Amino acid sequence: MPAQISTSLERYLPVLQWAKTYNSETLTSDLVAAVIVTIMLIPQSLAYALLAGLPAEMGLYASILPLVAYAIFGTSRALAVGPVAVVSLMTAAAIGNLGVQDPAQYALAAITLAFLSGVILLVMGVLRLGFLANFLSHPVIAGFITASGILIATSQLKHLFGIEAKGHNLIELLASLWQNLGDTNWITLVIGVSVTGFLFWVRKGLKPLLLGAGLAPRLADILAKAGPVAAVAVTILVTFQFGLDTKGVKIVGDVPMGIPPLTTPSFDLDLWGQLFVSALLISIIGFVESVSVAQTLAAKKRQRITPDQELIGLGASNVAAAVSGGYPVTGGFARSVVNFDAGAETPAAGAFTAVGILLAALLLTPLLYFLPKATLSATIIVAVLSLVDFSILKHTWKYSRVDFAAVAATILLTLTFGVEIGVSTGVAISIFLHLYKTSRPHVAEVGLVPGTQHFRNIKRHQVSTHRSLLTLRIDESLYFANASFLQDFVYDRVVGDTELKNVVLMCSAVNEIDHSALDSLEAINTRLKDMGISLHLSEVKGPVMDRLKRSHFLEDMTGRVFLSQFDAMTALMPVPSSRISS
């Protein structure tokens, strides 16, 4: 095969790259990692399906074929794909909007959502639109994840209490919980609270204990990861032994045994229309989450991931989920870290995990009959509370009030109006605040630092200036949002200043002048000309100058363009005189 075709194929099928060097050593590493991730993934996939409002087996199905698809198309060597908490919550919110009651219709909507999300990701990947994810600022993501964690934990409290509760935002959820608190099933609550406590203890206390008992660190780690599996096993046994299901403890019940079914998404265009925005949000949030984990892990091994190919990998996973009875999936944070720490060398580890989950679907499902839902909810609560991190509020408050406003708004809106409004408004707010900031740029009147060729702000430094010369350093690119600001600023400064003969705009920090700003410069030039003042530019960057040369402005300008501000001062101040600003 010619080298070029092979390279192009390798770009779209990263499996061809790593498969070439696959050997027994990488196989062993991948197998060990796969076993550990499988142990972790079984209870998680059941629990997240529950969170999404779907039958438990759909969680298992979403953890089989999608993992194989990612192993073929994905570029991260450590990313573990599958159902994750935030996307499961978003799935519940998306289908909740439809008002579907029938479980079969609900499942079909979830499958369709996975399909749409997969197609969106694939299209974004082929068109290389990965940069769109950059419009989600870090503070907005952090705020969104924290608020989602709170929403998820709150939504699971009903299973801990064994009561009914509904809602897609914190207020609805709390009101609904409060109303039904009288129906609490005390046995369920005991199970739920015990498992939650146990899992927290496993997280914090078990590993040090095992290490203290002389166990090898590796083994201690695996045992600690198996905590949720132990909780599942013990609560199944207890429920079965004491017939707790007849005493009001809600159980998972029948989980079909066998390989994932072949499913087809709905091709009803009305449904597509209703789900499209949700699918888009799920795709972007899933992608952002997944890529940031993948990048962090790749960096540790000096590897690179290709964001646009990641879109294709995740897109393929979601389409795979849609045709095999799953629901939207993405790369999970905790799971990928475990996979990495356990020594996964290639995406094959994910394929081996898929085999593990397939075995579970084939063999273990009858054992899950007596599994209390409270156990799964406890698993979710313990997992998502680690997502809740309000420190971003503190950091942004200290560093930048604008970022703080974006985080605070995202958290509040997500809690109050749910995930979809929360994250979209968060993005809109951060874009708006960015534009607002740049619409009122910092403009400094500068003068020469004596004995140097440097120019500094007259308000911060002792510099020399001259009455006939005004130099303004504009600390921002000039574009439509600040074009009229510049005009107003110059007019306000020069009005009534009768000694002024020359105005220099120092453009060292101007990276762009768009057409609106060009119009403003022309207006300033005309206005100053009427007042008998010349307009000059200095330190204009190459690309900006190239563009200005394509307009009439440079010909119409009353003054000159100076390469350096020092040249401008030398040329425009023939009779040196200085005043030291206060």
Classify burial at 29, counting beta carbons within 10 Å of its beta carbon; exposed 0-12, middle 13-18, buried 19 or more: middle
570 is a contact residue toward a copy of itself (CB under 8 A): no
399 is a contact residue toward a copy of itself (CB under 8 A): yes
Q: Which is nearer to a copy of itself, 266 or 295 (CB)?
A: 295
Quick one: DSSP state of residue 465?
A: E
Name which position in 70, 198, 479, 562 contacts a copy of itself (CB under 8 A).
Answer: 479
Q: Indicate the pairing of strand 330-331 with strand 443-448.
A: unpaired
What's phi and psi for 534, nearest 5 deg?
Answer: -95, 145
390 is a contact residue toward a copy of itself (CB under 8 A): no
Name which position in 395, 501, 529, 560 contacts a copy of itself (CB under 8 A).
Answer: 395
Stretch of residues binding a copy of itself (CB under 8 A), selected from 138-146, 210-218, 255-263, 418-426: 138-146
Q: Kindly give the residue spans of alpha helices, DSSP state H, lying in 202-345.
A: 207-212, 217-225, 227-242, 269-300, 307-323, 333-341
Name which position in 11, 203, 250, 541 contacts a copy of itself (CB under 8 A).
Answer: 541
Stretch of residues binding a copy of itself (CB under 8 A), selected from 135-143, 145-153, 209-217, 258-266: 135-143
User: 580: which strand partners?
Assistant: 464
127 is a contact residue toward a copy of itself (CB under 8 A): no
Strand blocks (E) in 222-333: 330-331
Stretch of residues binding a copy of itself (CB under 8 A), selected from 44-52, 89-97, 344-352, 540-548: 540-548
Alpha-carbon distances of 480 from 280, 435, 518, 521, 550, rounded to whole Å: 29, 10, 9, 12, 19
Q: How far apart are CA 24 and CA 542, in angstroms?
A: 55
Q: Which is nearer to a copy of itself, 20 or 550 (CB)?
A: 550
Q: Which is nearer to a copy of itself, 400 or 558 (CB)?
A: 400
Contact between 267 and 209 (Cβ < 8 Å) = no
Name which position in 221, 289, 345, 403 contacts a copy of itself (CB under 8 A).
Answer: 403
Radius of gyration of the chain (CA): 31
The minimum distance between CB 304 and a copy of itself, in angstroms, equals: 7
Instruction: Show contacts with a copy of itself in window 270-299 (CB under 8 A).
Output: 299
95 is a contact residue toward a copy of itself (CB under 8 A): no
Contact between 78 and 339 (Cβ < 8 Å) = yes
Name which position in 12, 268, 436, 497 contacts a copy of itself (CB under 8 A).
Answer: 436
Instruction: Show contacts with a copy of itself in window 166-195 (CB under 8 A).
Output: none
Distance from the first to the final alpha carbon of the chain:
74
Closest C-alpha among 141, 409, 114, 72 to residue 292:
141
518 is a contact residue toward a copy of itself (CB under 8 A): yes
480 is a contact residue toward a copy of itself (CB under 8 A): yes
Instruction: Show contacts with a copy of itself in window 487-506 (CB under 8 A).
Output: 491, 495
What's phi and psi for 478, nearest 5 deg?
Answer: -100, 120
User: 466: which strand partners?
Assistant: 469
The enclosing H or E element of 565 equals helix 565-572
Pair of tokens at residue 122: 């694939």
Name which position in 267, 302, 555, 574 contacts a copy of itself (CB under 8 A).
Answer: 302
Q: How far apart are CA 396 and CA 426, in angstroms?
A: 15
Stretch of residues binding a copy of itself (CB under 8 A), selected from 104-112, 370-378, 539-547, 571-579: 539-547
Q: Kindly give the residue spans of alpha helices, DSSP state H, lying in 80-206.
A: 85-98, 103-126, 138-161, 170-180, 186-201
484 is a contact residue toward a copy of itself (CB under 8 A): yes
Contact between 95 and 327 (Cβ < 8 Å) = no
Name which position in 431, 449, 472, 545 contacts a copy of itself (CB under 8 A).
Answer: 431
Q: What is the largest CA-CA distance in the chain?
A: 101
441 is a contact residue toward a copy of itself (CB under 8 A): yes
Q: Which is nearer to a copy of itself, 437 or 560 (CB)?
A: 437
523 is a contact residue toward a copy of itself (CB under 8 A): yes
The minimum distance between CB 296 and a copy of itself, in angstroms, equals: 8
354 is a contact residue toward a copy of itself (CB under 8 A): no
Instruction: Show contacts with a copy of itself in window 453-472 (CB under 8 A).
Output: 453-454, 457, 460
137 is a contact residue toward a copy of itself (CB under 8 A): yes
Residue 237: alpha-carbon gap to chain centroid: 39
The enclosing H or E element of 534 equals strand 534-538
Q: How far apart are CA 180 and CA 271, in angstroms?
A: 33
Q: Which residues of the shown chain bind a copy of itself in the complex (CB under 8 A)?
A: 131, 134-140, 299, 302, 304, 395-396, 398-400, 402-403, 430-431, 434-442, 453-454, 457, 460, 475-477, 479-485, 491, 495, 508-512, 514-516, 518-519, 523, 527, 530-531, 541-543, 547, 550-551, 564
